[in-house]
Amino acid sequence: MQLRYSFRLYPNGPQRNALARAFGCARVVYNDALRARETARAGGEAFPKTGDLSKLLITEAKRTEERAWLGEVSAVVLQQSLRDLDTAYKNFFDGLKGKRPRMGAPRFKSRKDNRQAVRFTTNARWSITTGGDLRLPKIGDVRVKWSRNLPSTPSTVTVIKDAAGRYFCSFVMEIKDGHLPETDAVVGIDLGLSHFAILSDGTKIESPRFLRRAEKKLKKAQQNLSRKAKGSNNRTKARIKVARQYARTADARREFHHQLSTKLIRENQAVAVEDLAVKGLARTRMAKSVHDAGWSAFTAMLEYKAARCGRTFHRIGRFEPTSQVCSACGVKDGPKPLHIRTWECGACGAILDRDINAAVNVAKAAGLAVSACGARVRPGFVPAQREETGTHRDGQTTVVGIPGLSGGERKSIPHPHSIVSEAAVALTPVSRGM
């Protein structure tokens, strides 16, 4: 399995300028190659090959006065930019053939894009120094904050600059799967908005709502941005402040997803979730809350961590009626409005929590052996039958209650302990063999 390890970079002033130059040169080569291929397509000609584009747009372009500054950066960075264009075209055509989700056609890059990246391979002779710095060709030794050890020696490194002006180095490496000790526990997960996750064992995990909590600061930062003149340095500074606030929110959400997904994978042998229509929900009035929850990122983490740790991951269909079926008896009694959070099964009389019942049904739909006892199911109050009402005292043949008076009958007052009101009888729980 391939995993990405990302670490924070702290380049100094000259190093930031050198990285900006590398980002710009890689972007120019990418756009030149895209323009050459689109021109060939419009003219009905064959696409130029990567080798021909490398010779034309890199080797020969360096000798011209207009593109002489391409020689100020590593040639490997420019060649990898052409590889990125090949990958973009391959993904686009594979999407048209149905081999992968559909993607848009490659587009021209801009210096104003939120993300800038360059990649160095072993041919560029980059290295990690004994002092822990990242040595990059024609850039220098850049300080890195290592948060963990690398499991093996990487062959490539990607340097990224995000919208908040932060720099990262990213390593993609092949690692061996580390299987965890087996356990008998299994869990079904129902994802929601009021509670982020509801487990089939009855556990409810509150939704952190990181974006909602940061709205006040974001509102102030965006108001300051809107007051700045376009094209000014003050506007650039205000834009970076907004981007940093969004980055903090995204980082906090990602950390929450990682901690929760790791905990669930470690404690359970099998995990089942529902395939939610996130794109459809994002077009409703709940769009901001749906994006704030980040269900897709969380389920993706569960899936790859399960594969890495030897666990089983199930994703059931989105049309499974998990909220319409009683987890105790399996009877389906139709859809229910969202404001109904607790309901009573008309068949068995069980009182069900809507979310926990759905989590149990998610696990059962995935074929996991989950009992409904964890769904907070309890028998409801069922009216007793007419022949069962009342209590017979020893030697008394009449049904205890308020005696009906007729004609010359005397009023008889029964013993206080023998009086059972009709309302009390109607509320007596009846055993149903559960």
Active site residues: 190, 274, 355
Whether 9 contacts 134, CB under 8 Å: yes
Could you tell me which residues come within 8 angstroms of residue 2 by beta carbon, excluding any fewer than 6 positions away?
172, 173, 174, 175
CA atoms of 191 and 187, how far apart (whole Å)? 13
Residue 122's nearest CA partner among 89, 76, 84 is 76
Helix, strand, coil tally for the chain in percent (to 5): 40, 15, 40
Taking alpha carbons only, the member of 99, 77, 79, 104 closest to residue 89 is: 104
Q: DSSP per residue over 131-195, as a string?
A: TS-EEETTTEEEEEE--S--SS--S-EEEEE-TTS-EEEEEEEE----PPPP-S-EEEEEE-SSE
The answer to whether residues 372 and 341 touch, using CB atoms and an 8 Å cutoff, is no
Q: How far apart are the C-alpha atoms of 118 and 112, rounded to whole Å?
A: 15
DSSP 403: P
Cα gap 146→171, rounded to integer Å: 12
Q: Which token pair is 323?
A: 């909220």
Do residues 103 and 49 lie in contact, with contact meaning Cβ atoms separated by under 8 Å? no
For residue 107 the two structure tokens come to 């587009």
C-beta separation of 133 from 2 below 8 A: no
| Closest C-alpha among 181, 180, 184 to residue 368 | 184
Using DSSP, state whether 234 is helix, strand or coil: helix
